[in-house]
Chain A
Amino acid sequence: MRQLKVALVLLIVGGLMTTAAFFMAFYTAEVQSFGTVTLSQQLDTAYPLTEAGAGGFTYGRPWFSQKIFYFHVPVALASFLVLIIAAYFAVRMLLTKRKEFDTKSRIAMETTLVYVMLTMLTGVLWTRASWGVWWDWEPRLTTYFILTLMVIAYFVLRNSIEDEERRAVYGAVFAIIAAINAPISFFITRIIPSNHPVVFKSGFATSNLIPFLTAMFGMLMLGFAIYVIRMSEERLRERLDAAKTALEG
């Protein structure tokens, strides 16, 4: 019960923080200029075409689509973080062979799935507003898509193994392999030039840092709340199973 109380507090505080960040993003944060975006073809966007030449069509970035920065970036960063945590538990599981680490790794992976889906959803909306297309095969989007497929594959793999011990080991191995992708996806926009903005490298106003950090911690708290709630549910289920076996005994 204590865990559920902790989870409830985290849920409320995290929810309040993300809501506060939402209002701050629109009322206190400065409008950041993100320069321009160059597309290979002329597209039907609501934003000004500043240059059309041999290199492509350059558009000014729309001001309001920048607001997604306060949700998309925190949720994406949180998804990387939770995936690394899942891989950490997977390593502990392989080293100790204890079942609780397998459960922890799996629950962390479930949280990753939720966050990855949220990142994809907000990202696709932003892409349509900013680049005029719903999807583009550019480095960051591609690597993140691969990451999404791997997180889904993790659950497909687990569901097709009956033996419990084997499921734990295979799941852990695949979680570690999948986590190799997180740093690749994070650093790729810093290595290969792409249309995906790298905000922290291109300069950042202080008044924008407050809503960003509020959203970041809010998202992390919400993620931790999901994790704690699912963990306590798993523990209850394990106790129920143990009680059932004892009664049948």
Chain B
Amino acid sequence: MNALAWRQFRALLRKDIVMELRTREMVTSMGLYALLTMVVYQIALSQAGSLFNPADIAAGLLWLAFVFTSMLGLNRSLVHEKDQGCMEALLLSPVDRPVIYFAKVIGNLAFLLVVEVLTIPVFAFLFLQGRERGFNGPLWLIPLVVVAASIGIAGVGTLLATMSVNTTGKDVILAVMFIPLMYPLLLAAVSATNAALLGGQAFPVSLVWQGLGIIAGYDAIMLLAAFGLYEFIVGA
């Protein structure tokens, strides 16, 4: 990457972050949505009985919250660009398309990570209290799994959201494309997070590394595909 592209990248990223710091719209709406998801979980689990341990499905619940939250955020982030005519201005300026793409991806990734960092303690506070003795896994690997999978979510999501904001269905279209495409990543992320949380004989550490390997492969393939296809999408 040459110096010019790097400067453009930083300028684009700063634009997104400054806008977010002034309005706080994305993080607030995503965080609130994640919190509301927790309320819905409580309703869903309210009749599960005392033998049921939420820790058994904690990884799945956590990633479910992340998926829905990220869809909301990705849609908002690209709707801004379109409604205020920002995308057109960006395309008119002499910036390489991949630079725009990666700046948007890193911006979305940053907001997603902020929301995830806020959500995990809240989730643990609401659902996992008093069950700490059951957590035998390498807990320090959880942040690694979260970051690796979030890269894939932000990368693919930014590509798909760029497409979906130009359709009449917007968020529905994003969900219809996003969830099937995310499937392998989410499955690996849930498996790795679960093993990192519960550990023990049933979920050895090798499961975490296996999951991380799948996530890394998915990230590489999908970012490469998105890198090649983004130019066609913004050009149409």
Residues of A bordering B, CB below 8 Å: 94, 142, 146, 149-150, 152-153, 156-157, 160-163, 165-166, 168-170, 172-174, 176-177, 180, 184
Chain B residues with Cβ under 8 A from A173's Cβ?
163, 229, 232-233
Q: Could you say which residues of chain A place their CB within 8 Å of the CB of B169?
A: 156, 160
Q: Is B221 an interface residue (CB 8 A)?
A: yes
Closest residue of chain A to B175 (Cβ to Cβ) is: A153
Bound-state Cα–Cα, A161 to B173, Å: 10
Smallest CB gap from A174: residue in B: B177
Cα separation A163 to B236 with both chains bound (whole Å): 9
Determine whether the beta carbon of B180 is less than 8 Å from that of A169. no
State whether B183 touches A146 (Cβ < 8 A). Answer: yes
Some 20 contacts from A to B, beta carbons below 8 A apart, are A146-B180, A149-B176, A149-B179, A150-B177, A156-B176, A157-B163, A157-B173, A157-B176, A157-B177, A160-B167, A160-B173, A162-B168, A169-B235, A172-B232, A173-B232, A176-B225, A176-B229, A177-B229, A180-B225, A184-B184
- Interface residue? B166 (CB, 8 A): yes
B-side contacts of A161, CB under 8 Å: 166-168
B181 within 8 A of A: yes
Contact of A169 with B233 in the complex, beta carbons under 8 Å: yes
Given contacts A176-B225, A177-B181, 6 further A-B contacts (CB under 8 A): A153-B177, A156-B176, A170-B166, A173-B233, A174-B163, A177-B229
A177 to B163, CA, bound (A): 13
* Contact, CB under 8 Å: B173 / A156: yes
Q: With the chains together, A157 CA to B160 CA distance in Å?
A: 11
Bound CA span A173–B231, Å: 11
